[in-house]
Each structure stands twice: as structure tokens, then as C-alpha cells.
A and B are shown apart, each in its own frame.
Chain A
Amino acid sequence: QSALTQPASVSGSPGQSITISCAGTSSDVGTFSSVSWYQQHPGKAPKLIIYDVTKRPPGLSNRFSGSRSGHTASLTISGLQAEDEADYYCSSYAESAIWVFGGGTRLTVL
């Protein structure tokens, strides 16, 4: 099972919105709703920010939103803040009862 495809890096200025893509196939993102997004700051454990494609865990800022079109899921962060600078990973359930992660995207807040 191949990893999901994410851009290596994205950047944006404070207050702007950015979108990170997560390209999969009909064997994972395109078929299953178990798509999640995680934020990871250096030296820290990942943090769940989106699950089931579009849902936010309790207490999570509504600046984070998820969507999907075909085989590609997307994470949008609006009103970019300095503390959003981190690595972001997507994940999806896939055929053959496995989960796969994307390669990760480094977000730089300019």
C-alpha cells in the first residue's frame, strides 16, 4: 500500500488561508470516509485536528476545516497564526484493512 501524496511544503502569511492536499486512490481516500488530519510540532506527538474527512474533535478551533473531492482530501487553515507552523499529515483507511499516512507537509508561517 503506497503512502498518500502530500506537498512537501506550503507557506502563508499571518491572517491568510492555506490548503494542503492529500492525494489518494479509489482504494483509500476515494472510497472511505475515515480520513484524518494531524498536526505535529517539532519534538511533540501528533495531534488530531480533523476526522471523518470534515469533522473537528471537541474544542478544536474552527479555523481548521477538511474536505474531499474525488480521490483527494484537503485541509484548509484560515486566519493563519504563527502557532500553526508545524508538520501536517493526512491518514486514510484503505482496502485490505489497513491505514495509510501521507508523507507530511511542512507549513511555514511567513
Chain B
Amino acid sequence: EVQLLESGGGLVQPGGSLRLSCATSGFTFNKYAMTWVRQTPGKGLEWVSTVSSSSGDTYYADSVKGRFTISRDNSKNTLYLQMNGLRAEDTALYYCAKDLRASAGGAYGDLANWGQGTLVTVSS
């Protein structure tokens, strides 16, 4: 069974940093692109960032480019999101998600498996 478990969320002041983690199991992690998606409470989904299976390709939404860094450790089956320069508008529930199909490079963006999310609150 595919399992994704996010951690690392919490309350942080504007301008601060957080590192989110997504521990995975139940599939061959190094064969799938992985994605972070966020959702403001009561509102819609927003794509944040994607990394290819080999980390050779990374993709970012304009709203986080230059502030967030996605990475993965294929030896630990874990996905990360380093978030710097946090703003109030970054407050959201952050999900990690796995592509449906394996890919050697790039990503499909067909997010078949999701974690339950970790809440990030940016406030003074």
C-alpha cells in the first residue's frame, strides 16, 4: 500500500523558514516524480512544486520561485520542501503527492496518491 506522510509544518513568523518532509513507503520511490500542492483552509488547490524521479528536473510556481526549494533523497524515500522568506499568503495545508505513472525524467502531474497534509501557518 502506498503511504505518504508529511511532517514539519507549524507556526512561523513572516520572513521565517520551515522544512517540510514527506516520508513514503509502498512503492519504488526513485521511479516517480513527486509534487507539493497546497490548499488554503476552505479554498482551492494550488500547485507548488514538482521534482522528477532523478531530481534532474524541478518545477516551481511563480508564487514560490526563488523562496522554496524542492528536493528528494532517494536513499531515504523522502521528499522535502525547504521554504524560506515565508509570507502570510503561504499559510496553507501542504500535501505531498505521487505521480500515477513512473517516469525516467520530467513528470506527468497525474497525482494518484496523496498524503494527509501538514499545516503551515505564517503569522506574527
Contact = CB atoms under 8 A, between A and B. Distances in A.
A101 B111 contact: no
A99 B46 CA distance: 9
15 contacts: A3-B44, A36-B111, A46-B95, A46-B114, A47-B114, A48-B110, A51-B100, A57-B100, A89-B44, A91-B47, A91-B111, A99-B59, A100-B47, A101-B47, A104-B45
Contact of A93 (B60, B95, B109, B114): B109
A46 B108 contact: no
A38 B108 contact: no
Contacts of A48: 100, 110-112
Interface in B76-115: 95, 100, 108-112, 114-115
Interface residues of B, number: 22
B112 A98 contact: no
Nearest to A45: B114
Contacts of B47: 91, 98-101
Nearest to B45: A101
A46 B111 contact: yes
A91 B61 CA distance: 14
Contacts of B46: 101
Interface of B: 35, 37, 44-47, 50, 59-62, 95, 100, 108-112, 114-117
A47 to B, nearest CB: 8
B94 to A, nearest CB: 12
A73 to B, nearest CB: 14
Given A51-B100, A57-B100, A99 B108 contact: no
Contact of B110 (A1, A36, A40): A36
Contact of A45 (B60, B62, B95): B95
